[in-house]
Amino acid sequence: MSFAKLGLSTPILNAVAELGYTQPTSIQKQAIPAILLDRNLLAASQTGTGKTASFVLPLLEKLYRNRRYAGQTKIRGKRVRILVLTPTRELATQVEESIAEYGKELDFTSMALYGGVDEAPQKERLIEGVDFLVATPGRLVDMVHQRALHFDEVETLVLDEADRMLDMGFIDDIYNIIDRLPDDRQNLLFSATLNDHVRNLSTTFSGVGMENKEFYDDLLEINISPKETSASSIDQWLITVDKDTKSALLSHLIKEQEWDQALIFIEKKHGAAKLVSQLEKRGIKADCIHGDRSQSMREKVLASFKSGELKYLVATGVAARGIDIGDLTRVVNYDLPFKPEEYIHRIGRTGRAGAAGEAISFVAMGDFKNLCAIESRLGHIVKRKEIEGFPVRKTVPVSILNYVRKANRPDAENKQAQNKDTQPKSNKTANAKTEKKRAPRHK
């Protein structure tokens, strides 16, 4: 199935094609038509399934149609049309970047709003109004209290990673926001798991009650099986390594373990070309894609990799965005990515559609903080393997789970705002509050 069949217009199809997406993912096939039909949605799907595009593309399409055919005018000051709530500032920024990317041929505005930074520029930006606002709950509530923002023109509410927001204790803020929204809005809820607390949250969607089946029918439930998501079927492991032995180690693994295929992620463009020549010197045929190679060349290399003719592809993270290769068996983080989300996206390229996959990361001493952030995001430590003949001079300590980057830590000045937006409260508190809120909402 193509994206065009899903009812998206040319400017959106162009953006998708440019990113190299050839086919909609499972969640996109199901969610896009439903969202275009104004349905409310409760979707179980994890990062790596293409869930962001599954709501951003149809929401852009709806704004585009309303502007074009229904004569909808520009957004008023301090107003917002699409409100997306996310648990963290990283996710807010990432979703906002996706909106800008998918909507680059359209002139809709978007903004990420989160705590821990100065409020003044955010307030200033809101004065003009914004079509898509992607926000963490704490800062959003602050803005509403300060009357920097009004919700009377909200058409759609998206709750992204709802289970994580609940785990982080945002329940009161979320209800506070929902209570202020217009009743006739569309509601889209995405969550890795559909536990009782998440389902309970969906009962706040107008007219929907878990015990009231006739209304409940309005809510479309989509379950993307764990096999279609990243983490579950992927064997993740890491090797600690000294920077100067990385290319020798890679060549060794390719040969010793007789790798049939590998997508190798590297940080820098010039590093990609250098690695290809280092591999070739050791008799391994490889090629690379990066931002400095022409589009036609990138497509050619990619086609050769997809057909199996080229077995080892070295790619920078940016160039590899949107690469969809059906049954990729192995990805290698030759350089560990800086953002945990990027790690999850990368490893999500393997193990797709239930196939077994392997994700191997090379971790050098300087990567320790990144490793801590990644393992904290995964919620577990990635197993380590030692490779004979490759002893490390600079050992990487075992990471600290629940690590928070310095930039995300509350300092004295913004401690309160930060606490709201990044500090998890205990599950117990969050759940107790869910219970408290649940009672009056059941009809």
Cβ-Cβ contacts under 8 Å for 140 (sequence gap 6 or more): 85, 113, 133, 149, 173, 177
24 binds ligand AMP (CB under 6 A): yes
CB of 26 to ligand AMP, least distance (A): 10
Give the residue, chosen from 8, 32, 53, 63, that forms a contact with ligand AMP under the rule CB under 6 A: 53
Least CB distance to ligand AMP at residue 35 (A): 14
- Residue from 67, 324, 325, 441 touching ligand AMP (CB under 6 A): that is 324
How many residues touch ligand AMP under the rule CB under 6 A: the total is: 17
Closer to ligand AMP by Cβ: residue 91 or 141: 91
Q: 121-126: which pairs have CB atoms within 8 A and are 24 or more residues apart?
A: 122/148, 123/148, 126/78
Closer to ligand AMP at the Cβ: 197 or 345?
345
The H or E element spanning position 36 is helix 26-36
Between 48 and 340, name the residue whose CB sits nearer to ligand AMP.
48
Annotate 198-214 with b (16+ C-beta within 10 A) or e (fewer): bbbbbbbbeebbbeeee
Give least dist CB 30 to ligand AMP, A.
Answer: 13
Contact between 301 and 313 under an 8 Å Cβ cutoff? The reply is yes
164: contact with ligand AMP by CB under 6 A: no
Q: Which of 26, 47, 86, 88 touches ligand AMP by CB under 6 A?
A: 47
Select from 42, 48, 84, 102 the one that contacts ligand AMP (CB under 6 A). Answer: 48
Residue choice 6, 32, 50, 253 for contact with ligand AMP (CB under 6 A):
50
Taking the least distance from each CB to ligand AMP, the nearer of 178 and 302 is: 302
Nearest distance from C-beta of residue 407 to ligand AMP, angstroms: 22
User: Residue 327 Cβ, how far from ligand AMP at the closest point, in Å?
Assistant: 14
Cα(442)–Cα(163) distance, integer angstroms: 20
Look at the block and give the residue holding tokens 């894609």.
Answer: 289
Q: Which pair of tokens denotes residue 430?
A: 């969050």
Q: Give φ, ψ of 265 to 5 degrees.
A: -90, 135
Q: CB–CB of 22/324 below 8 Å? A: yes
> Which C-beta is closer to ligand AMP: that of 51 or that of 89?
51
Q: Provide, rounded to whole angstroms, the least separation between the CB of residue 350 and ligand AMP.
A: 13
User: What gap in Å lies between CA 76 and CA 129, rounded to an integer?
Assistant: 6
Secondary structure class of 258 (helix, strand, coil): coil
CB nearer ligand AMP, residue 353 or residue 398: 353
CB of 158 to ligand AMP, least distance (A): 12
Task: Write the DSSP string, 215-249.
Answer: HHTTEEEEE--GGGSTGGGEEEEEEE--GGGHHHH
Q: Is 337 in the site for ligand AMP (CB under 6 A)?
A: no
- Binding ligand AMP (rule: CB under 6 A), the pick from 52, 136, 376, 434 is 52
In the bound complex, what is the minimum distance in angstroms from residue 15's beta carbon to ligand AMP?
A: 11
Which residue stretch of 110-118, 182-190, 265-273, 318-326 sits at the interface with ligand AMP (rule: CB under 6 A)? 318-326
- CA dist 370 and 390 (Å) reads 22
List the structure tokens of 170. 């945002």
Query: CA–CA separation, 401 vs 412, rounded Å?
Result: 24
Selected binder of ligand AMP within 12, 25, 60, 173 (CB under 6 A): 25
Q: Quick one: 53 or 141, whose CB is closer to ligand AMP?
A: 53
Q: Decide whether 48 or 410 has the Cβ nearer to ligand AMP.
A: 48
Contact (Cβ atoms closer than 8 angstroms) between residue 20 and residue 322? yes
The SS3 assignment for 285 reads: coil
Residue with tokens 């590899």: 320
Cβ 10 vs Cβ 57: under 8 Å: no
Does 321 sit near ligand AMP (CB under 6 A)? yes
For residue 127, give both structure tokens.
């004065």
Smallest distance, ligand AMP to C-beta of residue 348, A: 6
CB 273 → ligand AMP: shortest distance, Å?
23
Binding mask 338-367 for ligand AMP (x = CB under 6 A): -------x--x-------------------
Q: Which residues bind ligand AMP (CB under 6 A)?
A: 21, 23-25, 28, 47-53, 321-322, 324, 345, 348
